[in-house]
Amino acid sequence: MATVKSAFLCQARVMHKRLKPSVNQFVYQVFYLCFDIAKISAIKRKFLSLNRFNLFAFFNRDHGRKDQSRLEDWIREILQQKNLNQKVSRIFLLTYPRVLGYVFNPVSFWFCLDEKENLIAVLCEVSNTFKESHNYLIFNHDHSPIHEDQWFEAKKEFHVSPFFPVQGNYKFRFIFDQRNIAAWIDYSSNDKEKSLLTSLICRRENLSEINLLKAFFSIPLMTLKVTFLIHYQALKLLLKKNKYIPKPNKKSHNITFNHE
């Protein structure tokens, strides 16, 4: 098996389809950074900096404990809670970079691979517009590799949208290999009927200076666009008379594990 590169750029297609209480769908193009967290210095480029301002930048404090501590230590502590740490050899973070100093990441994905580069676990680091975050750790409880046709289920325990309650369940599916990166997350409310379908399909590119510039000029101020679209879609749902649900108090724990 060919070794996965330490850092690359991803052009991506994001889809959301809300099925109830009213139908609303959107698809948009974005781009991501993806890199081996143990080789974080590999992301540095003329237009991409680590922990300092640039056209693009990655800051440690945008993830994990939200400080400048080592991100690999943070995620490995989470993996160890389920005795996964020794099984995991490489960890790749798929996330938006800061663009001209700004970023909002609705969800970042931490793909955890074994020494044969099989996918062993995925941590979904979810954020809302209230500057809160929560993590969903997805894995096989026998520690076997995750297969691309597998679906996992976990309880929803974090407020994301003001139009869905903090109840029901998510279903997750992932692909991470030499060619493809993809994620599907579906939400079902307590009546078990699917309420929301989402997908992320990525195409890898070399993390070159020219590709970074192409990404910037193809989607200028991309991270601001993400925040704008979140509020624009919320306005559309309000105009469709969807019920607004105030944000509840955040749960005391920060990690949810998938069901066995």
List strands edge to edge, sheet with 24-36.
152-155, 169-176, 180-188, 194-205, 7-18, 24-36, 90-95, 107-113, 119-127, 133-139, 255-257
Pairing assessment for the beta strands 180-188 and 194-205 based on DSSP bridges: antiparallel
What is the phi/psi pair of residue 238, to 5°? Answer: -65, -40
In the predicted structure, residue 214 carries a pLDDT above the cut 80: yes
pLDDT, one tens digit per residue, over 46-78 is: 999 999 999 999 999 999 999 989 999 999 999
Q: Could you tell me the pLDDT band of residue 2, with boundaries at 50, 70 and 90? A: low
Predicted confidence (pLDDT) at residue 95 exceeds the cutoff of 90 = yes
* pLDDT tens-place string over residues 104-114: 999 999 999 99
pLDDT at residue number 32: 98
Question: CA distances (Å), 206 to each of 6, 38, 183, 211, 212, in order?
Answer: 11, 19, 21, 7, 9
Cis peptide before 21 (omega within 30 of 0): yes
pLDDT over threshold 80, residue 208? yes
Share of the chain above pLDDT 90, in %: 85
Mapped onto helix, strand or coil, the DSSP state of residue 38 is helix
- The helix/strand count (H/E) of the chain reads as 3, 14
- Is residue 108 packed enough to be buried (19+ CB in 10 Å), middle (13-18) or exposed (0-12)? buried
Q: Specify the range with the lowest mean pLDDT, choosing from 42-56, 134-148, 192-206, 240-254.
A: 240-254
Assess whether pLDDT exceeds 70 at residue 251. yes
